[in-house]
Amino acid sequence: MPDCRLYLITPPRIDLARFPEDLARALDAGDVACLQLRLKDAPPDEVRRAIDALRPVAQSRDVAFLLNDDAELAAQTGCDGAHLGQEDGDHARARALLREGMLGITCHDSRHLAMEAGELGADYVAFGAFFPTSTKDAKHHADPEILEWWSSLFEIPCVAIGGITAENCAPLVRAGADFLAVVGAVWNHPEGPAQGVLAMNAAIAAAA
């Protein structure tokens, strides 16, 4: 297995009547280290329903299930952890709430934010956006050099995110990314999400 692995994030909107099956097929297609549930505009009860439906799909396949934005809800609902941005509440409080659970923190293109995240006990730091993305209005641009710098100095894993595809990911793998986080490369793959997972796995293996 390559050192770098795929970190899958859900599409921004999902239909719970069919998405659990789509997700199962994608996860069964290849290697996925973790799944982040990211439903930015959904009300809390919808997020809870999505957690209930999707958490078992991921965890039964040994894929860690992380919740975006809300460490408290993650801790209450049996998620394996949470991913928080710089505006998603108090990171130290989240660290305490999650106990042994995983905490990932967005650090944009900032060495300073990444060192702060590491000091407070983040399980990974995330840098991005590395490429243009249509999934969100990314305000920061990161260069692969920050992955080289981080991985040469620190043991805490780093995640690369933002516009990553099978075609453009090689420099990020070579720069030391431990995980590549993607939305569009899998869910918008022209041959479907299972092929998207396989294409990312193959590209990571070829770059490593």
Ligand X SMILES: Cc1nc(C(=O)O)sc1CCOP(=O)(O)O
Site for ligand X, residues 111 to 150, rule: CB under 6 A: 128-129, 133, 135-136, 138, 140
Binding mask 149-178 for ligand LCLJCK34 (x = CB under 6 A): ----------x-x-----------------
Chain residue at closest Cβ approach to Mg ion: 85
Pairing of strands 34-37, 5-9: parallel
CA pair distance 142, 140, nearest whole angstrom: 7
Residue 198 vs residues 77, 102, 145, 168, 194: alpha-carbon distances, Å? 30, 26, 27, 15, 6
Report the residue from 13, 62, 136, 202 that binds ligand LCLJCK34 according to the rule CB under 6 A: 136
Site string for ligand X, 146-165 (x = CB under 6 A): ---------------xxxx-
Tell whether residue 10 is a contact of ligand X (CB under 6 A).
no
Q: What does 159 interact with, of ligand LCLJCK34, ligand X, Mg ion, none (CB < 5 to 8 A by kind)? A: ligand LCLJCK34
* 12 in contact with Mg ion (CB under 5 A): no
Which range in 53-61, 79-87, 132-140, 144-152 contacts Mg ion by CB under 5 A? 79-87
Residue 18: both structure tokens together: 């069919």
User: Within 10 Å of residue 39's Cβ, how many Cβ atoms?
Assistant: 18
DSSP string, 136-174: S-------HHHHHHHHHH--S-EEEESS--TTT-HHHHH
Q: Are 155 and 183 in contact (CB under 8 A)?
A: no
| Minimum CB distance to Mg ion smaller for 37 or for 156 | 37
Residues that bind Mg ion (CB under 5 A): 69, 85, 88
Q: What are the binding residues?
A: 36-40, 68-69, 88, 106, 133-136, 163
